[in-house]
Amino acid sequence: MGAKILDSLCLTDQADYIDVMHAILKHRGWMTCSRAMLSGMTVSSFRFTVHRRLTAESTTAYNWMAEHFLAADFVGITASQAAGFQFEPTFPLYQKQAISDIKRSIDRGIGAVIWKDQFVIVVGYDDERKLLYYADGTSPTNGTLPYIEWGRNRSPYWYYQVFEERLAMDELAIYRESLLQAIYKWETHDLMLPESDYACGRAGYDAMADAMHSSEYDGNGVCEIIRYYASAKKDIYEYTTVLQKIWPELKSAVEAYDELAQIFETMVEMTLSIDATQKFAAPQVRTMIHLLMNAKQKEETAIEQIKILVRETINNRFNDIGLR
């Protein structure tokens, strides 16, 4: 029986996975870089996936087990994680295992990532009261989650990840790998998602434009998608700006990402001008499609430039550029 709450581990705003990871690693003293840098190094900002009806779920519709393992691996952090459906008969066994792993992480002074219909940080636990304390960025005080409620979400998933050690990494190797993975993300569909319902990377822009054109989209979803990816594109711009100091050849890619981020800013402004439950009016749809096609072109240009920079490694990886 024990209890512990980690001091000064919190989130300041509504958070995604990278915010949560960033807060935990920073609190542990393993990471001093900005969110944008972490987002780039972990390749998270390069992921672009949309449901073809532009539902808000798009922004978390990816292979958590694969991508979050990699996010940590890319930056030299080792981790353990597990995930499943809460409707499976074995869920109670995994719930017990999760609580035990999470508590051990807290005891080591490291926050844990869990899915509570969004990614949140577990900052403490109390065995007497049988509950976890978590921070989700919406409130300055910690929320409480009874052990027995852990994993019982509105969405069918449970998930947790605990970080274990930090290994020495060569910074240049991290940056180079992230650029290779950026190409992979741009060109490759996530096998976990049915292609009839989801589009990834380059194809994501066409899917968004199609949805706009046919008016078959979710009004709230499209605002959330644009807001989320606008922040990602801004991260990419900041990240590649730093990388340009090492590889000046990235100059035109950085310029393209700058323009890309600005296009998304314009789209964010457009979403503010409509009531979120309403559809865009016809002239706005035309503008939106124009912006999307423009954005696709910018990102294509940037990726072409990156490919020139890392062409030798691309050739070494034959037909599977993502495979390290």
Near another protein by CB under 8 A: residue from 2, 12, 66, 138: 66
Residue type, 19: D
Q: List C-alpha distances in Å: 277 to 50, 220, 224, 284, 305.
A: 18, 6, 12, 15, 39
Taking the C-alpha atoms of residue 257 and residue 241, their distance in angstroms, rounded to an integer, is 9
Residue 154 interacting with another protein (CB under 8 A): no
Of these, 63, 241, 266, 284, which contacts another protein (CB under 8 A)? Answer: 63
Contact flags string 90-109 toward another protein, x per CB under 8 A: x-xxx-xx------------
> Out of 3, 56, 83, 314, which residue is the one contacting another protein (CB under 8 A)?
83
Q: Which residues, numbered 302-321, are part of the site for another protein (CB under 8 A)?
A: 319-320
The Cα–Cα gap between 239 and 222 comes to 25
Per CB under 8 A, the list member of 3, 33, 56, 82 interacting with another protein is 82
Handedness of CA 281, 283, 286, 290 (dihedral sign): negative
At 200, which helix (H) or strand (E)? strand 198-200
Residue 126 has φ and ψ, to the nearest 5°, of: -140, 110
Q: Which two tokens stand for residue 195?
A: 């292609």
Judged by CB under 8 A, the residue of 62, 229, 239, 264 near another protein is 62
Distance CA 190, CA 47 (A): 10
The number of residues that bind another protein (CB under 8 A) is 47
Site residues for another protein per CB under 8 A? 60-67, 69-70, 73, 76, 78, 80, 82-85, 87-90, 92-94, 96-97, 156-157, 159, 164-165, 167, 169, 181, 184, 190-194, 197, 319-320, 322-324
